[in-house]
């Protein structure tokens, strides 16, 4: 059953104007042929979002930054790794909205910044380096306290902007997709902080689509991500005034954690193959940390015959290509 009130609520959320129009949906016929046939393959090109080198964080920040602005924020703060796509997208958002930006990144200050850190600097973000992931959140809080003591209005954005509001951006994106093409049988995408998957799952549930959402983990074990996604879906439910209906209707997240390999950001033979094959058949640029592992998952499932040939499988490209140039 469609959840019409929640669907209506989706379209009225204030946005910062970073996402104009729809990203393309393209056929991947040459990749399909290279895999020896199988389901029809489509790609949703969020890597090609025109703002700030694109990627899934642009959609999330479009809503989160609008909220920050409505609270009177003058500075956006966030955390990530040295080559964080989310940090770069946050720096770009701050620049576009005339806000200041503080990024807390774990890793050593590079002598010669590359990829996302090069862009962070160009965008005018202040970068604070910490040595471990565990130090990021306390360092962000300390930076926010310092700014408040100086009379500024900081707004802290958690890792990946994976708050219920950030995740809602992907529920909206599902509505965008089905205005372009019939609902695919399966959506395959990279999952890490869970926001994208929670939004996709919520969107498919709210619109009562028959689509299965398969997240390929870049990092955490499946049961951990399933819990994170469930919590975000219930947060989306509250934010949209669904009174528990969305949480009750949404299936448990489908997460495949068998493509992580040795760990976050470490390429695998399958991810290297996926990176090359996507480039050589479709001129699609993936990244080693997220999208190449997700594409490796899609390719393995196709080759193993896990999708029927009359099905349509859509790869939701979540960006990250800047990291290739690091
Ligand atoms: C390129 C790319 N794809 C996928 C993801 C995962 O998205 P999410 O954090 O919403 O699970 C990220 C973010 O971490 C990313 O940068």
Report which protein residue has its CA nearest ligand 1's atom 3. 318
Amino acid 6: pLDDT:
86
175-228 pLDDT, tens digit per residue, is 999 999 999 999 999 999 999 999 999 999 999 999 999 999 999 999 999 999
Q: Is the pLDDT of residue 29 over 90?
A: yes
Give yes or no: residues 206 and 320 share one domain. yes
Give yes or no: residues 196 and 300 share one domain. yes
- Closest ligand 1 atom to residue 167 Cα is 10
Give yes or no: residues 243 and 99 share one domain. no
Give yes or no: residues 192 and 141 share one domain. no
Give yes or no: residues 178 and 231 share one domain. yes
pTM over 0.75: yes
Instruction: Please state, in angstroms and rounded to a whole number, the distance separating the CA atoms of residues 126 and 76.
Output: 11
213-271 pLDDT, tens digit per residue, is 999 999 999 999 999 999 999 999 999 988 789 999 999 999 999 999 999 999 999 99
Give yes or no: residues 233 and 131 share one domain. no
Q: How far is CA 111 from CA 74, 108, 114, 127, in A?
A: 30, 9, 9, 14
Give yes or no: residues 304 and 201 share one domain. yes
Residue recorded with tokens 């809602």 = 168
Residue 170 CA to ligand 1 centre (angstroms): 12
Amino acid 1: pLDDT:
64
Give yes or no: residues 87 and 174 share one domain. no
Residues 6+ apart with CB under 8 A from 170: 56, 59, 60, 195, 196, 197, 198, 199, 200, 202, 203
45-97 pLDDT, tens digit per residue, is 999 999 999 999 999 999 999 999 999 999 999 999 999 999 999 999 999 99
Around ligand 1, the residues with Cβ closer than 6 Å are 55-56, 85-86, 160, 162, 190-197, 287, 290-291, 318-320
CATH code, 96: 3.40.50.1100
Instruction: Please state, in angstroms and rounded to a whole number, the distance separating the CA atoms of residues 55 and 53.
Output: 7
Of 161, 195, 216, which closes a domain?
Answer: 161
Give yes or no: residues 40 and 189 share one domain. yes
Radius of gyration of the chain (CA): 19
Give yes or no: residues 97 and 126 share one domain. yes
Of 128, 143, 161, which closes a domain?
Answer: 161
Q: Which residues is 77 bridged to in the sheet?
A: 102, 156
Give yes or no: residues 99 and 241 share one domain. no
Q: Which of 120, 213, 264, 320 to mutate to test the pocket of ligand 1 (most atoms within 8 A of CB)?
A: 320
Strand 154-157 versus strand 75-81 pairing type:
parallel
Q: What is the dihedral of CA 292, 79, 110, 143, to 10 degrees?
A: 180
Strand 154-157 versus strand 186-191 pairing type:
unpaired
- Closest ligand 1 atom to residue 215 Cα is 11
Amino acid 3: pLDDT:
82
Length of the chain measured in residues: 326
Active-site residue identified among 84, 192, 247, 271? 84
Residue 56 CA to ligand 1 centre (angstroms): 7
Instruction: Please state, in angstroms and rounded to a whole number, the distance separating the CA atoms of residues 306 and 7.
Output: 32
The CB density around residue 137, as the number of other CB atoms within 10 Å, is: 15
CA atoms within 13 A on the CB side of 255: 26
- Structural domain of 124: 62-161
Q: Domain total for the chain?
A: 2
Query: What is the DSSP secondary structure assignment for residue 185, as one 8-state letter?
Result: S
């Amino acid at each position: 059953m469609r959840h019409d009130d929640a669907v209506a609520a989706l379209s009225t959320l204030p946005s910062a104007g970073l996402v104009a129009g729809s990203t393309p949906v393209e056929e991947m016929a040459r990749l399909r042929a290279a895999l020896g046939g199988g389901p029809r393959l489509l790609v949703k090109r969020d890597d090609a979002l025109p703002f700030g080198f694109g990627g899934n964080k642009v959609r999330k920040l479009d809503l989160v930054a609008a909220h920050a602005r409505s609270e009177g924020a003058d500075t956006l703060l966030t955390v990530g790794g040295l080559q964080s796509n989310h940090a770069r997208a946050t720096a770009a958002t701050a620049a576009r909205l005339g806000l200041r930006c503080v990024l807390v990144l774990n890793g050593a200050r590079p002598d010669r910044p590359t990829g996302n850190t090069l862009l962070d600097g160009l965008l005018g973000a202040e970068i604070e380096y910490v040595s471990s992931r565990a130090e990021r959140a306390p360092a962000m809080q300390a930076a926010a306290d310092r700014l408040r003591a100086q009379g500024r209005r900081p707004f802290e954005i958690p890792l990946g902007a994976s708050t219920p509001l950030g995740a809602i951006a992907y529920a909206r994106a599902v509505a965008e997709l089905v205005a372009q093409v019939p609902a695919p049988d399966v959506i395959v995408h990279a999952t890490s902080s869970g926001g994208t998957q929670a939004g996709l799952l919520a969107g498919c549930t709210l619109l009562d689509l028959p689509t299965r959402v398969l997240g390929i983990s870049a990092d955490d074990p499946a049961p951990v991500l399933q819990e994170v996604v469930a919590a975000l879906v219930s947060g989306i439910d509250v934010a949209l005034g669904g009174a528990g209906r969305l949480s009750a209707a949404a299936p448990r997240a489908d997460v495949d954690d068998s493509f992580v390999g040795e760990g976050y950001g470490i390429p695998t033979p399958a991810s290297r193959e996926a990176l090359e094959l996507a480039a050589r058949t479709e001129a699609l640029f993936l990244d080693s940390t997220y999208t190449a592992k997700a594409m490796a998952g899609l390719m393995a499932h196709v080759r193993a015959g896990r999708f029927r040939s009359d099905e349509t499988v859509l790869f939701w490209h979540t960006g990250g290509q800047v990291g290739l140039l690091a």
